Amino acid sequence: MEKSLTGKHIVLGASRKTEEMSLLIEKQGGTASVRSLQGTVFKAENEVKFDLQKFIAEGADWVIFTTGVGIQALLDLAENLGEKEEFIAKIKEAKVASRGYKSQAALKQVMIQPVASDDDGTTQGLIRQLADFDLSNQKVLVQLHGEKAPELIKFLTGKGANVSQILPYQHIPPVPEIVETLCQELYSEKVDAVCFTTAIQVRSLFDYAREKGYANKIQAIFKGKTIAAAVGKVTAEALREEGIERLVVPKHERMGAMIVELAQYFADKK
């Protein structure tokens, strides 16, 4: 009996657990290639110090948190500056919104209860919960994690908010030659699927494609020959924001589950 991924070329955009995923693909008869789109996320203490101290001095009407690890990084930096209590006090003076259960857990540790939080772990879920709030002329600070959140920023500015961003972690894009190699493989229809394990990988591919004038062609390829696989809701949301609607997304947000779901997708097509 032919295996589900026989004759299929699957590209992994990840930089971690690629050996395990490659092995799963090969066991299903496929060929795996790693084209890391992850780049490097680094803790940007020097870069974010000014933004943090500005917030402590001036405060905000709203603070929106998008990652638990980002909240912890800001708390650690505030502690290193001897201003942790002042930082927490300023957050408590504002209305707080959060995305994801890890953000809520990090806020709970410092006794902060968001007035709005997502209903499904995604930015769109958070936007839905913020929709009924009056944000006009509100000073809103958004904590991001090394990546953009264009839909969230667009929503906030559209509601009349004065938005500033704080990024305790910042992102260095992947090696351009690697992204170019993937683009050329996509053009030549050598790729049956691309597996994305973070939203940053999606942004990296499409930011590069826009810069090179490839974006429309890449979108068309994902609507035709190549299927995009996302490890979970947030990554899938990033793909949809880039115009990619034809997706494979597992119910359980695990890399192995994504490969199993992808194999099932191709099996169903036979």
Condensed to tens digits (0 to 9), the pLDDT of residues 112-127 reads 999 999 988 889 999 9
- Which has more confidence, 146 or 70? 70
Whole-angstrom Cα distance, residue 42 to residue 25? 30
pLDDT band with cut points at 50, 70 and 90 for residue 146: low
pLDDT at 9 over 80: yes
pLDDT at 225 over 80: yes
User: Which CATH entry fits the domain spanning 42-171: 3.40.50.10090, 3.30.390.30, 3.50.50.100, 3.40.50.2000?
Assistant: 3.40.50.10090
Among residues 93, 121, 91, 123, which one has the least CA distance to residue 109? 91
Q: pLDDT by residue (tens digit) across 43-85? A: 888 889 999 999 999 999 999 999 998 999 999 999 999 999 9
- Which has more confidence, 67 or 41? 67
Whole-angstrom Cα distance, residue 81 to residue 46? 11
Q: Which pTM value belongs to this model?
A: 0.80
Q: How far does Cα 130 stand from its chain's mean position?
A: 20
Whole-angstrom Cα distance, residue 9 to residue 31? 5
Whole-angstrom Cα distance, residue 270 to residue 257? 20
pLDDT band with cut points at 50, 70 and 90 for residue 16: confident
- What would the DSSP string read from start to end of 57-76? HH--SEEEE--HHHHHHHHH
Percent of the chain with pLDDT over 70: 99
Longest pairwise C-alpha distance within the chain: 67
Give me the pLDDT at residue 42, please: 78
Whole-angstrom Cα distance, residue 261 to residue 256? 9
Q: pLDDT by residue (tens digit) across 157-188? A: 999 999 999 998 888 889 999 999 999 999 99
Radius of gyration over every alpha carbon of the chain, rounded to an integer in angstroms: 20
In this chain, the answer to whether the domains covering 9-39+173-269 and 42-171 adopt an identical fold is yes
Give me the pLDDT at residue 45, please: 82
Among residues 85, 98, 194, 192, which one has the least CA distance to residue 145? 98
Residue 82 phi, psi dihedral angles, 5° rounding: 75, 25
As a whole number, the mean pLDDT across the chain is 93
Q: Which long-range contacts (CB under 8 A, 24 or more apart) does 20-28 make?
A: 20/255, 20/256, 21/195, 21/255, 21/256, 21/259, 24/256, 24/259, 24/260, 25/259, 27/3, 28/3, 28/4, 28/259, 28/263
pLDDT band with cut points at 50, 70 and 90 for residue 1: low
**Average pLDDT of the segment spanning 229-254:** 94
Give me the pLDDT at residue 41, please: 77
Whole-angstrom Cα distance, residue 181 to residue 154? 32
**Average pLDDT of the segment spanning 30-36:** 96
CATH number of 9-39+173-269: 3.40.50.10090
**Average pLDDT of the segment spanning 233-254:** 94
The domain limits of the chain are 9-39+173-269, 42-171
